[in-house]
Amino acid sequence: MSVSTDLQRSASDPAEVAALAAARARILGRIGAAARRVGREPGEVRLVAVSKTVEASRLRAAVAAGLELLGENRVQEALAKIETVPGAAWHLVGPLQANKARRAVTSFAMIETVDSAALAVRLDRLATELRPDRPLPVLLEVNVDADPAKAGFGTEQLGAALPALLDLPGLDVRGLMTVGRLVAEPEAARPTFVALRRLSEALRGREPRLGPDLSMGMSDDFEVAVEEGATLVRVGRAIFGERPDHRHGPGGHPDHAHGPGTGPVTEPADHR
């Protein structure tokens, strides 16, 4: 165990650490069972603990409990936490405002929500300037359902843009990301996940430089996503409990709201 982990354990509430370790074990158990159902290895899937609105003290306990990959929806909220929660790797899983891009490039291990060619070009320029020897890991967000309420590349749009995106030297395009449908039953999200997997297979057949990662699945549907090939699942409520701003009705999903009307102006999405 590292010195930093020892310090985190000693500084965290033991009961909180134990509760989060138990939650982590439950989620990993469900991931493992879903993977084995389709002949996959559980280790192929990484758990991103989405920590929107979770205070830094709980996140220090989360890291001590083994939740070392954290996902944040808002750059500004993440920056305050990153400074006080050592030992974690951070993914941006919400929409990225243009005026936050510089800080995002220097703060996150991965940006999962590159939803346009314009954003990719901006990130490439900043990454080339700020981290010239380390291409920035990113995922391309795809609106596979052609849902006007969601952000992301259209499938045909991505196919046309992909060669140029893969040529950007400052980016390491690890794969694709999508947000599942707003559904009451997890099984109803399966067509979205199938579509992203098939799109990835088709694109990688033409462009092997595209990475194999698939970020899909959240608290309500991550097991279905794992069955369909997810390599990253974004889980928040099932680990940390309901958020203070939790609001959704029948068939709604409290974990995401990333659409064309929200992404460029605000940072409201909750991809967990």
What the block records as the tokens of 225 is 């996503």
**Phi and psi dihedrals of 70, rounded to 5?**
-115, 145
Query: Quick check: 71 and 271 in contact, CB under 8 A?
Result: yes
Q: What pLDDT shows up at residue 181?
A: 84
How confident is the model over 234-266, as pLDDT tens digits? 999 999 998 766 544 433 344 444 544 334 333
H/E element holding 138? strand 136-141
CATH topology of domain 3-240: TIM Barrel (3.20.20)
pLDDT of residue 123: 99
So where are the chain's domains? 3-240
Residues 6+ apart with CB under 8 A from 222: 27, 30, 31, 34, 230, 233, 234, 235, 238
Cα(131)–Cα(122) distance, rounded to whole angstroms?
Answer: 14
What is the pTM (predicted TM-score) of this model?
0.87
The parts of the chain modelled with pLDDT lower than 50 are 1-10, 247-257, 259-272
Residue 168, both tokens: 């950007």
Alpha-carbon distance of 30 to 163, in angstroms, equals 37
